[in-house]
């Protein structure tokens, strides 16, 4: 579980504790507390769902670029992007992964998902997440 998800899970636990305290004291839980629990829970479930697509073959419906999903990133704005690594054809340099908006991705369920197994949980990344340098 990455650090961002841990933080959200802790926030959900705190908010659930507050809601339970309200209920145990005979009070109706505060709407803001309930909304915070539900919003954060939805965020965690979305992230878990998207991470389940790693290793699947996908295609950008706009450009036709295709390859294996190697990562998923969610941004402060709510935008989600997949990292897609094209296949290596044995010519020239190793291909570079591209980060593409999730709304443009079509996943091919007919292609078997690639799973990398091993004892080392710190497997590294093929391409770091993009950095926004606008306005700097």
Structure tokens at 35: 């909304």
Instruction: Give the residue with greater pLDDT, 104 vs 35.
Output: 104
Alpha-carbon span 134 to 55, nearest angstrom: 31
Q: What is the DSSP string of 31-63?
A: HHHHHHHHHHHHHHHHHHHHHTTTT-EEEETTT
Q: Give per-residue pLDDT as tens, 22-80.
A: 777 777 766 776 777 777 677 666 666 666 788 899 999 999 999 999 888 877 777 88
- The residues spanned by each domain of the chain are 3-51, 54-136
**Which of 13-27, 79-93, 116-130 shows the highest mean pLDDT?**
79-93
Residue that has been written with the tokens 């443009």 in this structure: 104
Q: Which of the listed ranges 13-17, 29-33, 125-129 does the model predict with the highest average pLDDT? A: 13-17
| Amino acid 117: pLDDT | 65
- Residue closest to 72 by CA, chosen among 64, 81, 63: 81
> In the block, which residue shows the tokens 């998800």?
5
- State which CATH number among 2.60.40, 3.40.50, 2.30.30, 3.30.70 fits the domain covering 54-136: 2.30.30
Tell the residue number behind the tokens 């295709």, with chain if given. 66
Separation between Cα atoms, residue 13 and residue 49, nearest integer Å? 20
User: For residue 1, what pLDDT is reported?
Assistant: 45
Q: What's residue 125's pLDDT?
A: 58
């Amino acid at each position: 579980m990455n650090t961002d998800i841990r933080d959200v899970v802790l926030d959900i636990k705190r908010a659930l504790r507050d809601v339970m305290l309200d209920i145990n004291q005979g009070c109706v839980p505060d709407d803001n507390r309930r909304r915070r629990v539900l919003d954060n829970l939805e965020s965690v479930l979305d992230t878990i769902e998207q991470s389940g697509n790693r290793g699947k073959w996908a295609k950008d419906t706009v450009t036709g670029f295709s390859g294996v999903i190697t990562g998923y990133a969610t941004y402060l704005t709510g935008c989600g992007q997949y990292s897609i690594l094209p296949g290596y054809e044995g010519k020239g340099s190793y291909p570079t992964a591209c980060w593409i908006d999730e709304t443009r991705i079509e996943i091919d369920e007919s292609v078997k998902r690639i799973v990398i197994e091993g004892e080392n949980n710190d497997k590294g990344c093929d391409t770091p997440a993009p950095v926004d340098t606008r306005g700097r």
